[in-house]
Structure formats: C-alpha cells, structure tokens
Amino acid sequence: MTATLVFGAQWGDEGKGKIIDLLAAEADLIVRFSGGNNAGHTVVVGDKKYALHLIPSGILREGAVNYLGGGVVIDLWHLRQEIQGLRDLGVTVTPGENLFLSQCAHLILPYHREEDRIREELRGSGKIGTTGRGIGPAYQDRASRSGLRMGDLLDPVYLGERLSAVMLEKNRFLRGFGHAGMDPADLLAELLEIAEELRPAICDTGGIVRRALKDEKSRVLFEGAQGLLLDVDLGTYPYVTSTSVATGGLGGGAAVPPQSIQRVLGVAKSYTTRVGEGPFPTELDDQVGEHLREKGREFGTTTGRPRRCGWFDLVAMSYTVEVCGAQELALTKLDVLSGSKSIQVATHYELDGRTYEEFPAGLPGLDRVQVRYEELPGWEEELSDIRKFEDLPSKAQDYIQYLESKLPVRLSLIAVGPDRDQIIRRPS
C-alpha cells in the first residue's frame, strides 16, 4: 500500500488540482477529507478545462475511485450541478461506482448559505471574505450538534423530524434579519429528490479506505483542500476557513489513522496569493502585484474574485511544511515569473524590535510586520515547453535551488503551465 497526502502549503489556490490529477494517474482511491465547494481545483487536459469544487480531481482518471470523507461538507444542489457539468464535458461520474460519499459528511443546506451572507454583513469591516458557500455555518452546526448528515438521507422520516426541529431555530435567526424563512417540508422534498441518484454512493467511506490501506497493492491519495494558512487552528485566525485542512483534519475527516501516510507533499506557488481578507505579509500592492495577477490569471476558480498577489514567503513556507511533516513540495506556476527582472523571497519578519524567522501564527500584529527579503536575479525566457530541470534557464534553476537550500523539503515537481503535461519531474 502507498498512501500520499497532498496539501496546500499557502493560502489555497496553489494549483493542487493539477498536482492531484497528476498523482491520481498512479492512485486507485482518491479521498477528500475536509472543506466543501469553497475549494476550486482547475485541471487542464488538452483543450478542456475542468473546474472542480467538491468532487476529487481523480474523477478525471479512468479507473480511479473517488471518496468524499466524513469531514467534507456537501451541498447537494452544488453536487448535482458539478456532476452534470462534468458529464457535459464527457466525464463519467457514476455514484456508487467511481464516486462515494460518506454517510458522516454533513450537509450544507440553503439556510447555511443565507447565514454565511448575513454573518459576513454583520462583521462589517471585519468581514472574513468567505466564499459565501455556507461552509462556516455548516461546520458550526456540526460542532453544535444541529447538523444533518448524508446518512440521514437514507431515512426520510428521521430526516424530516430532524429538519423540522433544527429549522425552528434557523427560521427564527433568518426572520430576525428580514428573511421570510424556509419551509422544512419543501426542503425535505427537494433533498430527497436530489439524493435519489446519490443513494448508491452513500456509505461508510472510512471503512473502505481503511481496508484499502491494509491491502498491499492499493494506492491511496488524500486530497487536501484550501491551504494550511487557512487552517482553523494553524492559520491566520480569524481569517481562515472552518476546518483543519491538512494532516490535522485527516484522521477525523477520512476516518483513518494518521500514521497510514508515508508521503506528504505540499503544493506551493512560485509566488504567493490569497483571496479574502486577512494578513498577507509579502503582498504587493503595486504594479508588480498587478503583473503577477494578470500573467498568472489570478482570479478565483470558485468566486471569480481577483487574488491578492505577493512574493514567495520562506517564513510561512518553513512553517507549513514543518507542521505537516512534508518531505516534498510541488512548485507551481514557475512560468509566471518569466520576465521579472528580479525576484524577491521573504526570509524573515520584523515587528516592534523583534525578528521572526519562524512564522508567528497567532501574532495579533501579523498585518504590521516588516518583511525582509533576499533578492534573486530573474530570467526572461518562457518556460512552458520545458520538461527537464537541466533545460531551465540557469537563473530559474538557481531560484529552485535557493528555495531548496532554505527549506527542509525537496522540490520534486515543478509546474510550468496549466496543462497536465506542463510539468518537470525531479526524481530523487
């Protein structure tokens, strides 16, 4: 058995979709364990572009079986749409054959989306900048024991009773903010209608994955969503998502022992981006940032929002790879840096007379730190057609080797374009 965990090593949008798609070619099971349709994974295959939000990127590989573990929150309306979208592009999605959904996964219901919107409005200038998908409220209900789960869909009477009980409070909240409220009977009918096709897929995914982990021949890929700096405990709280996005969320979210994982691979962009609010020490609020946004097409897959752009941050990266125990990093979008005269890399922060070489997660002044950079020479050449490390311009090789010298990981994959084939492999 081989088990690999892929996680985002920045603030999400690192290009995990492309890397997972690549590794999925050598995997039998692909398992998502946290988040919901706040995620956005883009995979380009030839002239087709797939934007995945909830369904693991392994769905694009024939023979791979995809699982949404109990730590995922599922919006059935969105799932139906995503399945249809994939089918329209010629992808086979067969619930119960190549897609399975944990009976423990919580449902995102329409009132969660409304709640997300209302709570963001109430936060005013302190808003998080959520994706508006109802993620936070659904996890909030999970923690407060008011959630409904995929397994409940298999027992309509129980589901109806739970929905009526929970919605008494939900409707009181919604009406308090001028919303007309929602009818539990209507919601029940809609849920059951959408769930019909999904019934064969609802099962104990944890048990299946654990059995696979015991089988010598099976290859399991755990697909992290978001990025470690958005982790509810380890990230830039409160400007984070509501889950443990990497190693921390794996045990509960996929129902597997964490020691099952042999290979931990982080994905990082060659620079840094962030969507939504919150501290971003290396953010570039100038023409260079604008250039990265345009050249890197840095607009959210999920919300279309322009992403904030900045330089690569070694302080943050050392933290994320260390806290997840990563042995390898996949560096994406190296091609976007072509044409930059020089490239800056953050080496440490300073704040109120103190120097920080370790990422000070939880430091209230993180938005005020002075960032210290090392400047490296850039290169002009375009990289999109390069497939071998030795063929990269020497300055690009120097950049990779510089990062490797500063991080406790090997940069084993380097992406030079969005297409599946635009990758440089660096075997150990």
Using rule CB under 6 A, residue 275 touches ligand IMP: yes
Our answer to whether residue 41 is catalytic in this structure is yes
**How far is Cα 160 from Cα 145, in angstroms, rounded to an integer?**
16
Residues in 116-135 that interact with ligand IMP by CB under 6 A: 128-131, 133, 135
For residue 316, CA distances in Å to 11, 251, 282, 382 come to: 10, 24, 10, 28
Using rule CB under 6 A, residue 320 touches ligand IMP: no
**How far is Cα 396 from Cα 415, in angstroms, rounded to an integer?**
12
Positive or negative: CA dihedral 194, 198, 199, 205:
negative
Residues with Cβ < 8 Å from 65, sequence gap 6 or more? 28, 29, 30, 58, 97, 98, 99, 100
Q: Which of 3, 39, 316, 411 binds ligand IMP (CB under 6 A)?
A: 39
Q: Which of 3, 7, 13, 407 binds ligand IMP (CB under 6 A)?
A: 13
Q: Which of 241, 244, 282, 340 binds ligand IMP (CB under 6 A)?
A: 241
Q: Which of 9, 12, 231, 331 binds ligand IMP (CB under 6 A)?
A: 12
At closest approach, how far in Å is the CB of 238 from ligand IMP? Answer: 9
At closest approach, how far in Å is the CB of 192 from ligand IMP? Answer: 27
**Contact string (CB under 6 A) for ligand IMP, positions 169-208, x = contact:** ----------------------------------------
- End-to-end Cα, the chain, rounded Å: 20
Residue in 27, 59, 17 with CA at minimum distance from that of residue 415: 17
At closest approach, how far in Å is the CB of 193 from ligand IMP? Answer: 26
Residue 13 vs 152, nearer CB to ligand IMP = 13
Residue 184 vs 310, nearer CB to ligand IMP = 310
At closest approach, how far in Å is the CB of 210 from ligand IMP? Answer: 27
Q: Which of 276, 289, 310, 417 binds ligand IMP (CB under 6 A)?
A: 276
DSSP codes joined into one string, 68-105: E-TTBEE-HHHHHHHHHHHHHTT----BTTTEEEETTP
Q: Which of 56, 70, 71, 136 binds ligand IMP (CB under 6 A)?
A: 136
DSSP codes joined into one string, 11-55: SS-SSHHHHHHHHHTT-SEEEE-SB-TT--EEEEETTEEEEESSS
Q: Closest residue (Cβ) to ligand IMP?
A: 276
**How far is Cα 139 from Cα 136, in angstroms, rounded to an integer?**
5
The answer to whether 84 and 143 are in contact (CB under 8 A) is: no
Q: By CB under 6 A, how many residues form the interface with ligand IMP? A: 20
Residue 135 vs 220, nearer CB to ligand IMP = 135
Using rule CB under 6 A, residue 298 touches ligand IMP: no
Interface with ligand IMP (CB under 6 A): 12-13, 38-40, 128-131, 133, 135-136, 225-226, 230, 239, 241-242, 275-276
Q: Which residues are catalytic?
A: 13, 41
